[in-house]
Amino acid sequence: MDYEQKAPLGYLWASKLAVVLFGKQEMALRLFSLLGGIISLFAFIPVARYFLKPWTVILAVAILALGEPFVYHSTEAKQYGTELLASILAFYLFTKYHRSFKVSSLLLWGISGAILLWFSYSSIFVLAGIAIVVSCNSLLQKEWKQFFLRLIPFVSWLLSFALVYYFFLSRYQDSGWLKNFFEVVYGAYMPLPPSSLKDMIWLAYSHYMILERDLGILTKFGDIKDYSAMQTLFRMPFLPLSLEMVGIIYLFIRNRYHLFLLALPIGLALLASSFRLYPFYERFILFLSPLFIILIAYGAEKAAEFFSKRTGNIVASVLFLLLLFPPTWNAVRFTVFLTTLYKKEYNREAILYVNDRYQPGDAVYVYWNMNHAYKYYKEAYPLAYIARGGEDLRSLSANKQDYYTKVQQQIGDLSGKKRLWVIQNPKLKNNIGEYPGRNPRWYHKSTFSHSAALTNKVMELGGTPVDSFQRESIDVKLFELKN
């Protein structure tokens, strides 16, 4: 795929089918993710019922329904919402078949799990965790017949993953840029063994970000990118953290089988991260969210049971409201004020802003860091203009002066043109596939503002700024030209 993208074949085929049926606009590309998000809610109900009591089942499903990360990734043209669904379905299949020893049922379990791997690479952590825990339990109980029968689904999953690895994942080993990007920009790999305070901070920070970016159960006030001590306190992280710990302790004492079922996929993902095989960061671990939700809800359940029946009902009600307040508040806030979405981009708005105001005789120049967006919207929408530029010329330039000589040549002849539109992203300094921090020295952010320099260059060509559109990292300027 272009732009260093990676996605499972099943997801890609489903997205392609939607495009074939409904066209290339965003609604079609988001359709499969949306359907997956809706199915996730219904599939999560029997999973939650397996681990939880009725009131905490409602709590767990409500967190999944209201959490901003789940809604966001269920309307995104990427595979992370599908990976969440695959994780839930893996546990649903477990609840349906783990007590059955009919060969037909075990074959269905095996085939279903094998199919999941073609829609979600990350489901291997969940399926492997289930297989290891169930197999070890059979061995400890000396249930030899059950152990060998259960090899039917487990070996099916292993063979399916082997095919996925051979045809797809093995080819990603050459993606050195992605590994470098995850490590340098995201810090997405767990240090193993954790040997310093910095390493311990990584673990604490990663856990905090799971609560905020993967579960959406931290209250967001003010600037969502503000991580000061006061803002962190107001986001109420200590309640879910405490309940999660309570849940882990109670499961360890009373039901280690369930604890290992929930914890081992998390541990496997962390282990893969430590070997730099899988990033343990934000959207890449959204598939683990249902496990954390169940641990937190189970902790709430046991915390309420600690008290007498009457007091316990009051505690249960308070915990229910406190845990649901953050996702409810965030959902209302993000619905009313779309600008508070921390991942909100304005590529479409920028491209269509120019399109709606384009006049015959205008020229449009797209800087290299907006070319990927322009190329998509040119196909998805009937744009009135064909843009100039797009190619990244930095690696072909010896210095700043040489670079802008080439940019001027890229803009081309403007004679006869009345206006020039310039579309760029001032914050994006690394091209896709380019190692962070390896820009030419003259292009480094501390010594060079390519946004201001580009504007000045157009003004040198006789352009006068008359209109602009600026949102977050998007910058569109309209210049009147003197001919």
Same domain for 336 and 429, yes or no, is no
- pLDDT exceeding 70 applies to what percent of the chain? 93
User: Does residue 175 have a pLDDT over 70?
Assistant: no
Mean per-residue pLDDT of the chain:
90
Same domain for 315 and 418, yes or no, is no
Q: Indicate yes or no: pTM above 0.85.
A: yes
Confidence band of 199 (pLDDT split at 50, 70, 90): confident
Final residue belonging to a domain, choices 290, 315, 340: 340
Based on the structure, what is the number of domains in the chain? 2
> Once rounded to an integer, what is the mean pLDDT over residues 33-40?
97
User: Does residue 307 have a pLDDT over 80?
Assistant: yes
Same domain for 157 and 196, yes or no, is yes
* pLDDT at residue 398, rounded to an integer: 83
Structure tokens given for 364: 């449009």
Same domain for 462 and 356, yes or no, is yes
Same domain for 351 and 264, yes or no, is no
CB atoms within 10 A of CB 160: 20
> Once rounded to an integer, what is the mean pLDDT over residues 233-262?
94
Reduce the DSSP state of residue 47 to 3 states and report it. helix
Reduce the DSSP state of residue 392 to 3 states and report it. coil
User: Does residue 450 have a pLDDT over 70?
Assistant: no
| Residues whose CB falls within 8 Å of the CB of residue 185, separated by 6 or more in sequence, listed in order | 436
Same domain for 86 and 184, yes or no, is yes
Same domain for 67 and 169, yes or no, is yes
User: Does residue 446 have a pLDDT over 60?
Assistant: no
Same domain for 255 and 353, yes or no, is no
Lowest mean pLDDT among 239-243, 315-319, 426-430: 426-430
Same domain for 106 and 136, yes or no, is yes
Same domain for 316 and 231, yes or no, is yes
User: Around 308, how many Cα atoms within 13 Å sit in the side-chain half-sphere?
Assistant: 2
Same domain for 233 and 301, yes or no, is yes
Domain that holds residue 199: 2-340
Lowest mean pLDDT among 38-47, 114-123, 135-144, 397-406: 397-406
Same domain for 301 and 354, yes or no, is no
C-alpha gyration radius of the chain: 26
Q: What amino acid occupies position 81? A: G
> Once rounded to an integer, what is the mean pLDDT over residues 358-382?
93
* pLDDT at residue 189, rounded to an integer: 94
Strand partners, 463: 481
User: Does residue 254 have a pLDDT over 70?
Assistant: yes
* pLDDT at residue 225, rounded to an integer: 66
User: Does residue 84 have a pLDDT over 90?
Assistant: yes
User: Does residue 436 have a pLDDT over 70?
Assistant: no
* pLDDT at residue 182, rounded to an integer: 84
* pLDDT at residue 395, rounded to an integer: 81
User: Around 341, how many Cα atoms within 13 Å sit in the side-chain half-sphere?
Assistant: 19
Nearest of 453, 477, 474 to residue 464 by alpha carbon: 477
User: Does residue 441 have a pLDDT over 70?
Assistant: no
